[in-house]
Structure 1
Amino acid sequence: MVCIQQQQVLTITINDINDNTPVFGSSYYFGTVTENAISGTSVAAISASDSDIGINADITFNIASGDTASKFSISGNDIVTTATAVDYEAEKSFTLIIKATDQGSPANTATTTVKISVTNVNEFPPVWSTFTPPWIDATTPFSLSENAAVGTTVVTIVATDNDDGIDGEVTYELGTISTSSGGGSTTGLFRLDSVTGALSTIDTFDYENSDGISYYDIVVKAKDGGSTIQSIDRTVRVELVDFNDNAPAFSATSFTASISEDAAIGTLIKEFTITDEDSSTSNTFNIVSGDTSGFFEFDANKLQLKSVIDLDTPTSASNTYTLQVTVTDGGTPELTGTAYLTVSVSSSNEHTPTFLTTTISQTVPESALVGYTVTSLSATDNDYSEDGDIQYSIVSGNTDNSFRIDEIVGKLTLIKKLDYETTTSYVLHIKAKDGGTPDKSATCTVSVTVSDENDNEPTCTTLSVIPIQETASVGDTVTTLSCNDQDGVGSLSFSTTETKFSVGAASGQVTLADSVDYDSTEQSYAFDVTVSDGLHSTIVGVTVSITAVNEYTPTFTTVTETNAENQAIGTSITTFTATDIDFPPHDITSYAITAGSKQYSTN
């Protein structure tokens, strides 16, 4: 095909129609603004063009979206800040939609995006947020136990910074450390974690050896990361708390104390002194063992009598108590010290001995042997030990020392035989004395009646030879025996085996039972009379002498003799024989010529 061209000048007048849309110089714009920028500060410059001409090409700008808080405005081609401050901490960037509108009719528009970054300014200092535990004031302490391990956190501090970014990054550092004792600052005890704000220990503590330091005032700081650092500080007081790491201690491990049994309730027995290196003063005392009867109690550190200890019967409480006592401090944890106290209870002579009966009557036969028990006395004394020991004695009435009392058992015995015939009764006063100081005593009256017994032989007066004439008649009284018996029992009876004489069985009268003859072979009689009281007897020898009586006349035999005269003188003429039945001295003793011649004599 062959193309043919032809040219002709044609003048066409074109009327501008708003057929072009504004075009931004970039679909994205970027700008920056410092958060403390003053109002009117240019943030970003934008540009747009419109291919139309005339008013159709006149472009105006407005912020279509992204600036709800009206922090920006458009001045010409510049996006500028308004009086509403930009706050980095609130918004770190803005994405604005900028609309360009031409003046055509109808108007055409276009949009572009402006990304505005807010530049942070370290405008805020850190502020304290939380302390764990809470901080009250500079003199209200946080507690640190003396036994806290190395690394123990005392308090964790938190500060905040309203700045963002590094300007708002808070770190912590330790300031000066001063003590309650003064003397300047100290180091080497605490550390403050720069990130966590944990204040912790880097050494151990001992309250008892802290040289009087009771607390530490520690300055803690919080600072931000701004190029121009802002910081705050606060004084934190850390009180060193006495940990109960020492048990209370008695001044000794064992003690002794004594108390009288008559001590009143509330009597002080022992006051204890306690040492405790810890600061606790709230000691509590207790009796752990040894007081099952509840005789003792504590009033603070004073052991006192809670109830009366009666050593005496019938209570018969013990006189020795070994108490295990403890003292517990008021610490946490509670610690306890232990000691032993031996309490000796001394007896008091409170009671008087008492006889079971105050009068005793006993009858004792006079024949009772030495050692015979008359009676056994019994007295009681409710006192304990020596105070209740009874000692018996005879205080009166033992006039002839016939009695003895066992001073321990109270047995009353004979120490010599009694004799009714001497003493028929005794009134003994027996004393029971206790062993107290001073002693107490009681008396008992023992009436001893001696019963008469046939314990004596009859006694008779010794007789001389009793003469009686041979001419005495049967029945004549020869003599009456004089006998008696000291005993008051029984009666005397008399008897003899002699036949020539008899004796009155009751009277003791000796009489002639048969005739006697001096001129016979018996001129005297000796015989025994038995005197009996029914149990005992005695023999009385009786000698009767027969007295001669000249009963008979001599008789001669008749003699006739022849005598020659002239016999010499003296010549025997005869011998006369005369007889006389009487015995001498009444026999023939001489011859005599009573009548007749004088030339004779007799021989």
Structure 2
Amino acid sequence: MPERLAEMLLDLWTPLIILWITLPPCIYMAPMNQSQVLMSGSPLELNSLSEEQRILSRSKRGWVWNQMFVLEEFSGPEPILVGRLHTDLDPGSKKIKYILSGDGAGTIFQINDITGDIHAIKRLDREEKAEYTLTAQAVDWETNKPLEPPSEFIIKVQDINDNAPEFLNGPYHATVPEMSILGTSVTNVTATDADDPVYGNSAKLVYSILEGQPYFSIEPETAIIKTALPNMDREAKEEYLVVIQAKDMGGHSGGLSGTTTLTVTLSDVNDNPPKFAQSLYHFSVPEDVILGTAIGRVKANDQDIGENAQSSYDIIDGDGTALFEITSDAQAQDGIIRLRKPLDFETKKSYTLKLEAANVHTDPRFSSRGPFKDTATVKIVVEDADEPPVFSSPTYLLEVHENAALNSVIGQVTARDPDITASPIRFSIDRHTDLERQFNINADDGKLTLATPLDRELSVWHNITIIATEIRNHSQISRVPVAIKVLDVNDNAPEFASEYEAFLCENGKPGQVIQTVSAMDKDEPKNGHYFLYSLLPEMVNNPNFTIKKNEDNSLSILAKHNGFNRQKQEVYLLPIIISDSGNPPLSSTSTLTIRVCGCSNDGVVQSCNVEAYVLPIGLSMGALIAILACIILLLVIVVLFVTLRRHKNEPLIIKDDEDVRENIIRYDDEGGGEEDTEAFDIATLQNPDGINGFLPPLCP
């Protein structure tokens, strides 16, 4: 141990001594007094110098020292000498006093003010503080006046190997795929050393594995950890503990070291095929099981985990491939066999299936090991069950004419018992679907008959349900829907689509269409409706009207002449015969009412009232009302005029014997002269257009 300490001290102090000897001193240009100037040159020469030259010609004086070092963690009975301050102004007469200030002055570093020796009085730690900046000053011992300007210098703390490497992020965890090749990188770890990395080997680290061999290796300088064995199998061992050491001093003896642990987990790869737990499975199922029911489960085990263990199941062969299917349960990794189609014990009593389980995810690196799949055989036995009756058809469609006779047979349904016992069947109608009891069924043979008359125009379709029940076991029943369509029979005559009423203008023109009518028929012929229109035989030569068939199956009524007169005849009745195209055809007679009306010149109907003809002087009711309104308005104006005039010329108090109404009557007796005759145009009263509904203006 003493030898080791001496070796360490030698390593530390050797460069310090070399630096102390070789480094040049720092030079400070001290100002020169007049005596110094005289010593350096003659007065004549001095007078000839400029101020700048005088300054440059001053003698060179200044501090003399090197950069100082102190060894960390050094402790002894006496303070350690760090270095000495000295200025060339010091002649050794002890008239100069040295002063130290800055980092640690007086607390960590102490100076002899006479000799300039600096001592470290405390133990130093480079990892806490690597260097100290101090200021040195030389002053006159008696006057304390500065002899030199203050100057900074640095004391560096010299490192020793007093810190062991540390793994700050440990312990570590890493994964590497199983079956990896030799030298596959796992991870890398890093240790830190607080010692000085640029001085010596105190912080130079070398890594090694203390535990975890021969499975893993580590690169000494980079700390990269790799696999040392190929094809490590997760199914054999999944987790490994590796102890890693970091040693400073380049790994040499005497260095400090630190350790950490690394847990390496082998991640799974798909290197194992699925394997059925057994090669033969047996299941039994009743023949009346519901479609989609799970019949049984099979399982193929896989030593891998996660998605590498996922397997898909298929039926690859057998006589039941059409009746059964298999699906995969992703959670349990099972194969579930389900029924796709109904079973019939009487037809086939057992089935054989060949199943295959294969990995969903494969790894091509291991394809050379063979197919990652396995097969197994499944035997399924069908058990007999008491089944309900089976109809010969899942639905029935029957047709019947609406004029069919009561108790006539509409159609027939059939059903049988699929069991070996073959129980007889009884048929009935579900009366909830035939509330009006329009149909009956023969309980023994399933023939449907008509119970009440049918009318297609009321209902085209009748939907009922037939029930088949086993006589030996009434709990075994089946139902089947039966749709009955009522076929049309031509039993309805056509008629007008609505109640039509036509209007004929007195001033209409010959050939003018008075009205267009259409017909309807409640029946529904196969080729659509086609109507024939005609007049009554006695009306064929009608002098007033004629008819015209249109392409859209409608009928137009036309006037044969003009000059119709409401005063002579206000209403005309025109019977029209409408026939359909049925077999046999049916027809009906519909009567069209035609009213004669007064119209405007452009054919707009204005009045259809015949009483307008009996008004005095041939005026229409509208014209008469307009004339009376003008007269009343004129009388009101006259009354207001007279009243205002009397109020202006006479006192406000009206005498008892005076009556305003008397004045108005007196005015009427006198007449208005030309003003009254111009109140309205007399010629308007004789205008023939007034007969057709034109009204004179209310006022001139």
Q: TM-score, normalised by structure 1?
A: 0.42
- Normalized per residue, the structure richer in helix is 2
- Normalized per residue, the structure richer in strand is 1
Higher relative contact order (CA 8 A, sep 6+): 1
Name the larger-Rg structure. 1
Q: TM-score, normalised by structure 2?
A: 0.37
